[in-house]
């Protein structure tokens, strides 16, 4: 038996349970052992029977004096037992479990956790959890698993209870530990004051006290963070060593001239980001930089400046965006900024193929684009929609063997700790400052009974010349027929809520791109007043005249995503509003959504979601990048930094882990499963 033994081959598990365990992503012994409790029930205080008081939830331990079944007149069974410890005796009652008398015999040492009740003037322990104390076979701290201790509670699935998991983990843990050696280098263990792996795995499942739990969490969390950081650091090192990039000349005068040509003054944050990316581009190590900034923080102009420098050095630039709508918009913006300098902006999508000195495109860039000159710079907008593999593909199709510089941009405000964890191999520039004069968007969580008022409010705004987005509920992360249908149905219903004067347009991802362009064109030209749309608009379009963003089923989005959607309005001079509707009345949902009313900074909203819902929800959907981070506290910046520092040090000294084969093996398996979000 070893770590990779499949659960169906473990004694006492078999096909039936292994099938169920799959739903918990448990297929091997190791995965069973790494299925961690998410909390513990505290039954650790064992009370002397003499001291019990009614109403109390207690654990007692003693011997069974007698036990018997009584049959009531209605044919039901009651089991009564007398249990004694050194201090006294108590009667114990169970209902409808006659088989108990088969398991529990007079003379058995037993542990019970339950509630004490007063019956007449006698105390009784009603329907307690019970467990026969394992006196000989088990180590002392495992003499009970389900009672009389801190009892671990696990993520469960139908047919697999915590009780079952506890028993199996207790059974197989010793053999698993025997098959394992600690893979973490000794000096890291002592430097970071970690406990050894054996103790950590033992304590996480069967702690004697809460301090055990925190020691175990620290060690196991550190392992995960360290593995992630090591992979990142290794990637970064390989990237630096393997690839050569064009080291470009940056003429300061040209940059200043370009910046002066802009119709606005750059923010300090923009200037800083521009400096950082231009510094990268002067090196022959390919840049790999992430530019993070809220919607409207002005990322495009940063990218445009870098593209301009790439052009001046005689290179092509590719800018990739996730949707055709965004491509057209970027192309227009870039063209406005750079055509005065004689630069031609091209477009490369499924439906339109036209090369430029700078070419903006969709996924079509991956498949059909062939560069004529060396590509000097690749910009990827909204990076979490492009997979790592796809990003890598953007570099091919370049005639020379040089690797372009890479700038990825995201409006998803990822909390810093998560950025460190997920994108440890990227350099980071943050636009944490909005251009001056940006307004706050008044946000309201609207109860369903006020829906008609909301429609009236929208109509009033329209009569004043404004426009509105209505975002329909979505069913799937990607545009499916189902969400298209939802939008279409909603569209039909909505028409009835507005007067004839109000014109509505319908936008969804299944429209042909010609039709899409037309719908958006009509909205831009103010020929339609309301754009009913699926969430495709999220990464979309700039309509300064739109002042209302109404969102259905808002609880299904991450707060950061809602913030992005909200950023679609308030782009012009008019006061703007965001109206959130929700299908869920749960307190948690309401609390989350309410925070949109008060908080207007993307990073803060992301932090709130990180605390309330965990990291997987930040982007709205569960991201595979977190699949291996089961126990690490992703808001623990200190531990993350420590793990990063140790990983960096080790990569510098022993990049291929020649001295640490166990760690190498561990990291190789980890890496297989570890995929960055895409």
Residue 578 and residue 442 in contact, taking contact as beta carbons nearer than 8 Å: yes
User: Which residues, 6 or more positions from 329, have their beta carbon under 8 angstroms from its beta carbon?
Assistant: 540, 541, 542
Q: How far is the CB of 422 from ligand ADP (least distance, A)?
A: 20
Smallest distance from ligand ADP to CB 360, Å? 13
Region class of 379: left (phi > 0), else alpha (psi between -120 and 50), else beta: beta
139, 206 in Cβ contact below 8 A? no
Of 206 and 557, nearer to ligand ADP (C-beta) is: 557
List of residues contacting ligand ADP (CB under 6 A): 264-267, 270, 293, 295-301, 411, 435
Distance of CA 26 to the CA centre of its chain: 21
> Which single residue brings its beta carbon nearest to ligand ADP?
298
What minimum distance in Å lies between the beta carbon of 412 and ligand ADP?
Answer: 11
Q: CA torsion 195→199→202→206, rounded to 10°?
A: -70
CB of 586 to ligand ADP, least distance (A): 32
- Min dist CB 303 to ligand ADP, Å, is 8
Query: What whole-number distance in Å separates Cα of residue 569 and Cα of residue 546?
Result: 6
If the CB atoms of residues 64 and 549 are measured against ligand ADP, the closer one turns out to be 549
**CA distance linking residue 374 with residue 315, whole number of Å:** 6
Instruction: Give me the least distance between CB of 37 and ligand ADP, in Å please.
Output: 42
Angle at which helices 661-673 and 210-242 pack, to 10 degrees?
A: 80
**Residue with smaller CB distance to ligand ADP, 155 or 435:** 435
CB of 302 to ligand ADP, least distance (A): 8
Positive or negative, the CA dihedral 316, 321, 327, 331 is negative
Phi, psi of 295 (to 5 degrees): -55, 130
Distance, CA of 544 to CA of 571 (rounded, Å): 5
Q: Are 663 and 183 in contact (CB under 8 A)?
A: yes
Question: Which residues lie closer than 8 Å to 504 by C-beta, 6 or more apart?
Answer: 491, 494, 495, 498, 528, 529, 530, 531, 532
Q: Name which of 62 and 293 has its Cβ closer to ligand ADP.
A: 293
CA proximity to 423, closest of 619, 600, 660, 267: 619
**Closest separation between CB of residue 267 and ligand ADP, Å?**
5
- Comparing CB distances to ligand ADP, the nearer of 37 and 413 is 413
Distance of CA 370 to the CA centre of its chain: 35
Residue 61 neighbours by CB distance under 10 Å: 21
CA 109 to CA 659: how far, in whole Å? 50
Q: Which is nearer to ligand ADP, 32 or 343 (CB)?
A: 343
Closer Cβ to ligand ADP, 327 or 629, answer by number = 327
CA angle, 197 as apex, 192 and 202 as ends, to 5°?
Answer: 125
Q: Min. distance of Cβ 528 from ligand ADP in angstroms?
A: 22
- Min dist. Cβ of residue 336 to ligand ADP (A): 8
Q: Residue 32 or residue 378: which is nearer to ligand ADP going by CB?
A: 378
Order of strands, edge to edge, in the sheet holding 345-348? Answer: 353-354, 345-348, 358-361, 316-320, 375-381, 405-410, 288-293, 427-431
Query: What phi and psi, each to the nearest 5 degrees, are found at residue 469?
Result: -100, 135
Residue with token string 């009614």: 54
CA torsion 352-353-354-356 (nearest 10°) is 110
Helical spans, DSSP H, in 498-601: 513-524, 559-566, 587-598
User: Cα Rg for the chain, rounded, in angstroms?
Assistant: 31
Least Å distance, CB 234 to ligand ADP, is 31
Min separation Cβ 525 and ligand ADP, Å: 18
Minimum CB separation of residue 345 from ligand ADP in Å reads 15
The secondary element (H helix, E strand) that includes residue 486 is: helix 481-497
Question: Residue 184 or 560: which CB sits closer to ligand ADP?
Answer: 560
Shortest distance (Å) from residue 155 CB to ligand ADP: 38
| Whole-number Cα distances in Å, 379 to 204, 241, 363, 382, 392 | 44, 22, 13, 10, 12
Supply φ then ψ for residue 231, to 5 degrees.
-60, -45
Tell me which residue of 154, 163, 132, 196 sits closest to 33, measured CA to CA. Answer: 154
Tell the smallest beta-carbon distance from residue 330 to ligand ADP (Å). Answer: 8
């Amino acid at each position: 038996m070893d770590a990779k033994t499949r659960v169906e081959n473990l004694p006492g598990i078999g096909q039936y349970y292994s099938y169920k365990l799959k739903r918990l992503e448990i297929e091997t012994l190791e995965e069973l052992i790494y299925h961690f409790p998410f909390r513990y029930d505290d039954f650790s205080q064992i009370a002397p029977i003499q001291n019990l008081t009614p109403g109390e939830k207690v654990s007692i331990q003693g011997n069974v004096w007698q036990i018997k079944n009584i049959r009531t007149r209605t044919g039901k069974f009651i089991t009564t037992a007398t249990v004694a410890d050194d201090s006294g005796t108590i009667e114990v009652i169970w209902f409808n479990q006659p088989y108990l008398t088969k398991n529990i015999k007079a003379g058995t040492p037993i542990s019970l956790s339950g509630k004490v009740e007063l019956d007449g003037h006698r105390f009784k322990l009603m329907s307690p959890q019970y467990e026969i104390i394992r006196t000989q076979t088990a180590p002392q701290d495992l003499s009970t698993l389900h009672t009389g201790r801190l009892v671990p509670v696990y993520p469960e699935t139908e047919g697999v209870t915590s009780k079952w998991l506890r028993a199996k983990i207790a059974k197989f843990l010793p053999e698993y530990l025997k098959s394992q050696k600690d893979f973490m280098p000794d000096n890291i263990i002592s430097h970071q004051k970690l406990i050894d792996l054996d103790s950590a795995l033992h304590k996480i499942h069967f702690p004697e006290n809460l301090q055990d739990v925190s020691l175990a969490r620290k060690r196991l969390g550190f392992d995960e963070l360290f593995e992630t950081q090591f992979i990142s650091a290794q990637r970064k090192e390989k990237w630096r060593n393997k690839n050569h990039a064009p080291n470009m000349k940056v003429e300061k005068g040209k940059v200043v001239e370009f910046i002066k040509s802009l119709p606005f003054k750059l923010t300090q944050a923009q200037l800083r980001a521009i400096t950082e990316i231009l510094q990268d581009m002067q090196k022959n190590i390919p840049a790999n930089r992430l530019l993070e900034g809220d919607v409207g923080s002005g990322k495009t102009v940063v990218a445009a400046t870098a593209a301009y420098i790439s052009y001046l050095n005689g290179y092509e630039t590719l800018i990739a965006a996730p949707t055709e709508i965004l491509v057209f918009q970027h192309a227009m913006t870039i063209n406005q900024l750079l055509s005065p300098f004689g630069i031609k902006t091209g477009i490369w999508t499924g439906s339109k193929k036209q090369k430029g000195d700078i070419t903006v495109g969709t996924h079509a860039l991956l498949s059909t684009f062939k560069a004529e000159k060396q590509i000097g710079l690749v910009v990827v907008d909204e990076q979490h929609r492009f997979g790592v593999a796809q990003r890598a593909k953007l570099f091919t199709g370049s005639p020379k063997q040089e690797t372009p510089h890479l700038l990825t941009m995201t409006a998803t405000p990822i909390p810093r700790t998560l950025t460190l964890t997920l994108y440890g191999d990227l350099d980071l520039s943050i636009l944490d400052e909005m251009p001056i004069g940006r307004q706050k968007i008044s946000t309201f969580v609207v109860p369903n009974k006020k829906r008609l008022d909301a429609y009236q409010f929208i109509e009033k705004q329209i009569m004043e010349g404004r426009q509105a987005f209505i975002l329909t509920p979505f069913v799937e992360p990607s545009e499916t027929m189902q969400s298209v249908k939802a939008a279409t149905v909603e569209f039909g219903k909505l028409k009835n809520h507005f007067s004839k004067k109000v014109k509505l347009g319908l936008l969804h991802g299944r429209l042909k791109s010609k039709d899409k362009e037309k719908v958006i064109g009509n909205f831009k030209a103010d020929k339609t007043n309301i754009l009913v749309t699926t969430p495709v608009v999220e990464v979309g379009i700039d309509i300064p005249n739109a002042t209302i963003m109404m969102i259905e089923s808002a609880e299904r989005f991450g707060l950061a995503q809602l913030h992005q959607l909200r950023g679609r309005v308030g782009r012009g001079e008019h006061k703007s509003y965001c109206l959130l509707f929700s299908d869920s009345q749960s307190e948690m949902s309401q609390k989350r959504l309410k925070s949109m009313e008060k908080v207007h900074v993307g990073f803060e909203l992301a932090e709130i979601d990180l605390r309330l819902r965990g990291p997987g929800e930040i982007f709205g959907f569960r991201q595979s990048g977190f699949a291996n981070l089961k126990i690490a506290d992703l808001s623990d910046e200190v531990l993350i930094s420590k793990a990063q520092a140790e990983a960096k040090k080790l990569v510098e000294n022993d990049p291929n882990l020649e001295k640490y084969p166990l760690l190498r093996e561990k990291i190789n398996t980890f890496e297989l499963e570890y995929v960055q979000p895409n």
